[in-house]
Chains A and B, each alone.
Chain A
Amino acid sequence: MKYQSQKVALYYFGGALALFVVQVLVGTLAGTIYVVPNLLADVIPFNIVRMIHTNALIVWLLMGFFGCAYYLIPEEAETELHSPGLAILQFWLFLAGALAAVVGYLFHIHVGREFLEQPLWIKLAIVVVALMFLYNITLTVLKGRKTAITNVLLLGLWGIAVFFLFSLYNPSNLILDKMFWWWVVHLWVEGVWELVMASVLAFLMIKMTGVDREVVEKWLYVIIALALFSGILGTGHHYYWIGTPAYWQWIGSIFSTFEVLPFFAMVIFTFTMVWKGGRNHPNKAALLWSLGCSVFAFFGAGVWGFLHTLAPINYYTHGTQVTAAHGHLAFYGAYVMVNIAMFTYAMPQLLGRAPYNQVLNMVGFWVTSAAMAFMTFALTFAGVVQVHLQRVLGMTYMDVQDQVSLFYWFRLGAGVFVVLGVLMIVWSLVVPGARTREAVGYAPAE
């Protein structure tokens, strides 16, 4: 850490990790309701549980991105943050808004579009928080050094804010509602979020491998070009069956097939950089998370996305557990892991320590990743059986669900291990122990 104001990132990392625990606990509850359906049915219906699970995920990932930006931007721009006080105020506002939303959900205060269940006043508060954030980081970049990493990160973060505005548009025509709902959901996770992910990975590669910035930044532009060239028109794979014209089947199939490429490029990029750099960076855990991120994103977002993206296949798989399998592994691989990679790298720096609890952190990595992989397989098998019974043979939905209940037990088992792994990761990050950097004679690599 070179700039005092980077410390504001600690608030965001802490808040994100707390919500991460909430997210996986509530996810486990949802997985339990799948196999013990009467559980809590009269107290907290499944829709509320699911709402909290997905919203907690989205909020903690965004909180993590904010933290990543506050850590990364002063160091890249080589200047203190424009206003650390505003950043801290922004954190508390965001956390208060998130908690108010969750408590409200428990009392059935919500609106009703998937992932966008926040009442209008919370959506507007999110816009205010986003403006505070963008003002702060944009002014910081403008007064400092401009690098490809800060350019791409800023573009991604501005994109997040701009596309969120479409959440305020809710026409009574369901076709239009769905079309523009995807302008938030798809253009986030298969668009501008990839810019954030790629720029954070590029930053970590520069810091940890010692490869020349010129090389890393060229890779960065190639990766994000692949991401947006495929991802923008790849939105078409959500426009197959919602009342939109048939040409989307061609456009969506072709372009979303190419959405595998940026994730493949990220695998090649991270492994090549680590191999070429040859530097023995002391933070092994952060390196593991960075490499793991590109690999799991490739499988979760890339391969599992491609599995059901072609229109003739999606005709049968659309809205089944195949989608759930892809959703879980994609979010984990791409966005959970990039956040944990950055937290693992940055927290020792922010706390002025040598990398700590690395073994526990890496055990947490393997437990969580193996459990997420197992969960994905379980849901994929459930989905394939569901597709055959329901979409080919025409059995009714509930009869099919009884047939696949074994896979839901497997999923729940995997979920319990995810919780264990996440607790290890969180413990390893937030309980640094007593040994300081000076005590072990640690000199930062960079």
Chain B
Amino acid sequence: MSETLTKAAARNIFYGGTVFFFVIFVGLVAQSVSSAKTIARANPITPSVAAGKQVWEKHACIDCHTLLGEGAYFAPELGNVWVRFGGRQDPVAAREGLRAWFAAQPSHVEGRRQMPQFHMSAKDVDNLIDFLKWTSEIPTQNWPPKVSG
């Protein structure tokens, strides 16, 4: 490597640059935090949405499914599952459809991936659906490209 760059200079560039970029990063994240809070003010996180998130976490849904593209890739994307079940047109029917889906698991169909039966209470199911509905309303820059997720 070039003789003009000394070790001390390389070290100073590293520390100075790291602080510089980290400060910019923190600034942008702060702006994004305020944007996320604005989104939640326009579309409030009700107690049932918050409780539904806990149901989502309790059963580690993320280790099979993706949510906004993050998670395991073993089962369908659920960020827009509310839309896929027609929740925008007919919320009552979408809710019934999701309830029936949870109740019917596992399918025990040979050669098909199995979703466990989580024995959720009716309240848990409703909270979870509220959470999935709220998630489907997050402005995601129009991701995913197709309703198939």
- Give the interface size bracket for B toward A: 35 or more
B73 touches A243 (CB 8 A): no
Q: Which of A206-238 contact B (CB under 8 A)?
A: 214-215, 217-219, 221-222, 224-225, 228-229, 232-233, 235-236, 238
Query: Would you call B99 an interface residue if the criterion is a C-beta within 8 Å of the partner chain's C-beta atoms?
Result: no
Query: Would you call B83 an interface residue if the criterion is a C-beta within 8 Å of the partner chain's C-beta atoms?
Result: no
Question: If the complex has contacts A112-B57, A218-B6, are A232 and B146 also in contact, measured as CB distance less than 8 A?
Answer: no
B14 touches A224 (CB 8 A): yes
A34 partner residues in chain B, CB cutoff 8 A: 74
A41 partner residues in chain B, CB cutoff 8 A: 106, 114, 116
Taking the nearest CB of chain B, how far is it from the CB of A96, in angstroms?
A: 22
A235 touches B14 (CB 8 A): no
B18 partner residues in chain A, CB cutoff 8 A: 225, 228-229, 232
A324 to B138, CA, bound (A): 25
A47 touches B139 (CB 8 A): no
Q: Which of B36-75 contact A (CB under 8 A)?
A: 36-37, 39-40, 45, 49-50, 53, 56-64, 66-75
B111 partner residues in chain A, CB cutoff 8 A: 37-38
| Nearest A residue to B111, CB-CB | A37
A176 partner residues in chain B, CB cutoff 8 A: 33, 36-37
Q: Which of A33, A112, A390 has the most CB of B within 10 A?
A: A112
Contact of B110 among A38, A48, A218, A233 (CB under 8 A): A38
B114 touches A245 (CB 8 A): no
| Nearest B residue to A239, CB-CB | B32
Query: Would you call A342 an interface residue if the criterion is a C-beta within 8 Å of the partner chain's C-beta atoms?
Result: no
A397 to B5, CA, bound (A): 53
Query: Would you call A437 an interface residue if the criterion is a C-beta within 8 Å of the partner chain's C-beta atoms?
Result: no
Query: Would you call A357 an interface residue if the criterion is a C-beta within 8 Å of the partner chain's C-beta atoms?
Result: no
Query: Would you call B143 an interface residue if the criterion is a C-beta within 8 Å of the partner chain's C-beta atoms?
Result: yes
Contact of A172 among B45, B62, B69 (CB under 8 A): B45
Question: If the complex has contacts A174-B53, A323-B73, A394-B146, are A248 and B32 also in contact, measured as CB distance less than 8 A?
Answer: yes
B141 partner residues in chain A, CB cutoff 8 A: 240-241, 246, 249, 315
Question: If the complex has contacts A37-B112, A319-B69, are A219 and B1 also in contact, measured as CB distance less than 8 A?
Answer: yes
Contact of A232 among B25, B37, B64, B76 (CB under 8 A): B25
A228 touches B14 (CB 8 A): yes
Query: Would you call A244 an interface residue if the criterion is a C-beta within 8 Å of the partner chain's C-beta atoms?
Result: yes
| Nearest B residue to A272, CB-CB | B1
A97 to B45, CA, bound (A): 35
Mostly, the A contact residues are: helix
| Nearest B residue to A265, CB-CB | B1
Question: If the complex has contacts A172-B50, A173-B37, are A46 and B21 also in contact, measured as CB distance less than 8 A?
Answer: no
A173 to B68, CA, bound (A): 14
B57 touches A111 (CB 8 A): yes
A319 touches B113 (CB 8 A): no
Taking the nearest CB of chain B, how far is it from the CB of A239, in angstroms?
A: 7
Question: If the complex has contacts A37-B111, A245-B31, A391-B144, are A232 and B21 also in contact, measured as CB distance less than 8 A?
Answer: yes
A245 touches B10 (CB 8 A): no
- Give the interface size bracket for A toward B: 35 or more
Q: Which of B111-129 contact A (CB under 8 A)?
A: 111-114, 116
A47 touches B138 (CB 8 A): no
B31 partner residues in chain A, CB cutoff 8 A: 245
A214 touches B66 (CB 8 A): no
Query: Would you call B104 an interface residue if the criterion is a C-beta within 8 Å of the partner chain's C-beta atoms?
Result: no
Query: Would you call A288 an interface residue if the criterion is a C-beta within 8 Å of the partner chain's C-beta atoms?
Result: no
B29 partner residues in chain A, CB cutoff 8 A: 179
| Nearest A residue to B110, CB-CB | A38
Query: Would you call B89 an interface residue if the criterion is a C-beta within 8 Å of the partner chain's C-beta atoms?
Result: no
A397 touches B7 (CB 8 A): no
A225 touches B116 (CB 8 A): no
A214 partner residues in chain B, CB cutoff 8 A: 7
Contact code string B9-40 (vs A, CB < 8 Å = 1, else 0): 01101100110011011001101110111011
A228 partner residues in chain B, CB cutoff 8 A: 14, 17-18, 21-22
| Nearest B residue to A215, CB-CB | B1
B5 touches A225 (CB 8 A): no
Contact of A218 among B1, B58, B60 (CB under 8 A): B1
Contact of B13 among A33, A225, A244, A324 (CB under 8 A): A225
Taking the nearest CB of chain B, how far is it from the CB of A256, in angstroms?
A: 13
A46 touches B64 (CB 8 A): yes
Taking the nearest CB of chain B, how far is it from the CB of A258, in angstroms?
A: 11
Query: Would you call B149 an interface residue if the criterion is a C-beta within 8 Å of the partner chain's C-beta atoms?
Result: yes
10 A-B pairs with least C-beta separation: A112-B57, A319-B69, A47-B63, A241-B143, A221-B10, A41-B114, A172-B50, A394-B146, A397-B76, A175-B36
Listed in ascending order, the chain B residues whose CB lies under 8 Å from chain A are 1, 5-7, 10-11, 13-14, 17-18, 21-22, 24-25, 28-29, 31-33, 35-37, 39-40, 45, 49-50, 53, 56-64, 66-77, 106, 108, 110-114, 116, 134-135, 138-141, 143-149
**New A-B pairs, 15, CB < 8 Å, besides A47-B63, A112-B56, A398-B76:** A46-B63, A46-B64, A46-B75, A50-B63, A114-B72, A172-B45, A175-B138, A179-B36, A221-B10, A221-B14, A222-B5, A233-B25, A243-B39, A244-B32, A391-B145
